[in-house]
Amino acid sequence: MMQPHAAPSPMIGYAITAVVVVIALAFRMRGLQRARRLKVEQLWIVPAIYSVFGVVLFAASPPTPLGWLLSAVALLLGAALGWQRGRMMRLTVDPETHAINQQVSPAALIFIVVLIAVRAGLRDVAQSGVGGVHLNALMLTDVLVAMALGLLTVQRLEMYLRARRLLTEARAGAAVST
């Protein structure tokens, strides 16, 4: 006779996720050593696409008043976190070409991993109803989309403002030296 199998422990899923994240981080940390060209004129693209996604999502299933409130708070929280993450990005100006380069700092990478872990934990708490908190999947999605929109938009805005300032300073310095 065959014995029925017990449901696998959720800890197995967490362990597999942790191993995958550690491997992905190891590969990503190796790439942090080199700077990549920052295309300042293209920083608006990701926030624009995500804004369209958010508008479609909210229009397809408008949130309840509580959902709107939580989404607004999440948008503001995401904006604050995005500003902080944008500040963690290293931006440099090539003195000869005035090309702007970006380099992701290890702190910025760890920051986003911590945010993902916190989000996953909050999602599990909200779905399981721990502490009397019950959110339906649509409201949780709305809140997370609003937070991501704030984070992505303001991170790129901060990078744009700083890149523009660095470029202005580099050009002024080049004009003085010639």
Asked, for residue 46, whether it belongs to a domain, the answer is yes
pLDDT at 149: 93
**59 lies in which domain range?**
37-177
Rounded-to-integer distance, Cα 156 and Cα 72, Å: 19
Asked, for residue 130, whether it belongs to a domain, the answer is yes
What is the signed CA dihedral for 89, 90, 95, 96, rounded to 10 degrees?
-60
* pLDDT tier, 134 (very low <50, low <70, confident <90, very high otherwise): low
Residue 132: pLDDT above 70? no
Residue 146: pLDDT above 80? yes
Asked, for residue 21, whether it belongs to a domain, the answer is no
CA atoms 42, 90, 20, 121: torsion sign: negative
Alpha helices for 61-136 (secondary structure H):
65-88, 106-128
Q: Tens digits of per-residue pLDDT, 66-85?
A: 999 999 999 999 999 999 98
* pLDDT tier, 133 (very low <50, low <70, confident <90, very high otherwise): low
Asked, for residue 173, whether it belongs to a domain, the answer is yes
Asked, for residue 163, whether it belongs to a domain, the answer is yes
Asked, for residue 29, whether it belongs to a domain, the answer is no
Q: Do 72 and 146 touch, CB atoms closer than 8 A?
A: yes
* Pair type for strands 100-103 and 36-37: antiparallel
Domain count, the chain: 1
Q: Which residues contact 61 (CB under 8 A, 6 or more apart)?
A: 138, 142
* pLDDT tier, 138 (very low <50, low <70, confident <90, very high otherwise): confident
Asked, for residue 146, whether it belongs to a domain, the answer is yes
- Stronger pLDDT, 151 or 108, i.e. the higher one: 151
Asked, for residue 113, whether it belongs to a domain, the answer is yes
Average pLDDT over the chain reads 82
CB atoms within 10 A of CB 163: 21
Percent of the chain at pLDDT exceeding 90: 30
Q: Tens digits of per-residue pLDDT, 9-60?
A: 667 777 787 788 778 777 777 766 677 888 989 999 999 999 999 999 899 9
3-state secondary structure of 51: helix
